[in-house]
Amino acid sequence: MNLNRLLLTGISCLIFLSGCASHKAPIKKVYKIHTNQTYKNNTTSNTTINSTQNKNNIDKIDKNNIAKLKDYKVSTDYFPSVSQDERVRFLVLHYTAINTELSLKVLTQKDVSAHYLVNDYDDKTINLLVDETKRAWHAGVSSWKGLDNLNFTSIGIEIVNLGNTVSPNYYAPFPEYQIKKVGQLTQDIVNRYGILPTNVVGHSDIAPGRKPDPGPLFPWKQLYTEYGVGAWYDDVDKVLFMDQFPWDTTSTYFVTDVQNSLNKYGYKVPVTGIMDTQTKKVIIAFQMHFRPEKYDGTVDAETWSILKALNKKYNP
């Protein structure tokens, strides 16, 4: 590869990562987290609760996130209130399209960030870049289940992988040791925040057509079967719906049904009854996630059956 091509590739990758950001973010210091330790939890110190509503209950309070007043004591005698839930509702997975060294530089010194970076080294390290209580700039213009700008309500994980930067028709594979890191990290996050299976998504799911990551080679099924993370369909339901596939795929009724089904699962699709460009982009994103063997934007029997099986399982 000559020097001009190297420079062009580097610039393209910087543009790719910058597209994840929505606004300027401050430079962050990089911390290291080892996979043989507990991942950073924003609730680290135990406090005994004496509440009229939750007597003898124990919860955790991060003392760094409590008001510190000169003249007053902040009491936790009635902590926690029962009317609350987690701000974090979504987990978004990306690939960086550049190597580890450059990824760390871009994600900590440019207008884009993520909570965690999973490097491509066969080691015991995962990098924490943004505290989980803070908003990272990784999702950009995005939508899922009727909510826009997922930076506000998500944790973002960047995975070092070159994606399709080498060739538009070639995606770089993910080594098994890297998937183990992703598996343990996502499992920990999902369990702590109670993130729903359908809310574990790729950047391509929440920004169809604009972003392709983590790409068709990311092992979503393995993440589901080995770590209990994310959503996957049941084969028995897929077979059931295969027998019900309406072979007239050009009718307005069929297209409208597909658009409604995609919206029901979480994608943002205009219901037009026409197989328009945006609908095809969403179908490609769906196929890259759940049917990566063929992601051409065409709703065949398998794609339709998988979509129906997923909604039967998660959105009955």
Q: What is the mean pLDDT of the chain?
A: 86
Task: List pLDDT tens digits, range 232-287.
Answer: 999 999 999 999 999 899 999 999 999 999 999 999 999 999 999 999 999 999 99
Q: What is the pLDDT of residue 85?
A: 81
Domains of the chain: 3-38+85-227 (3.40.80.10), 48-84 (no CATH), 235-314 (1.10.101.10)
Looking at the annotation, which residues are catalytic? 158
Residue 44, pLDDT above cutoff 70: no
The answer to whether the Cα torsion of 221, 222, 228, 230 is positive or negative is negative
Gap between the Cα atoms of 275 and 10, Å rounded = 36
Quick one: average pLDDT of 223-234? 98
Residues with Cβ within 8 Å of 11's Cβ and at least 6 positions away in sequence, in order, are none
Q: What is the pLDDT of residue 39?
A: 34
Quick one: average pLDDT of 17-43? 41
The tokens describing 95, both together, are 């690939």
Cis preceding linkage at 219, omega within 30: no
Q: Name the residue with higher pLDDT: 77 or 220.
A: 220
Work out the end-to-end distance of the chain between its first and last CA atoms, rounded to an integer number of angstroms.
52
Q: What is the pLDDT of residue 86?
A: 83
Q: What is the pLDDT of residue 168?
A: 85
Residue 182, pLDDT above cutoff 50: yes
Residues with Cβ within 8 Å of 32's Cβ and at least 6 positions away in sequence, in order, are 125, 126, 127, 128
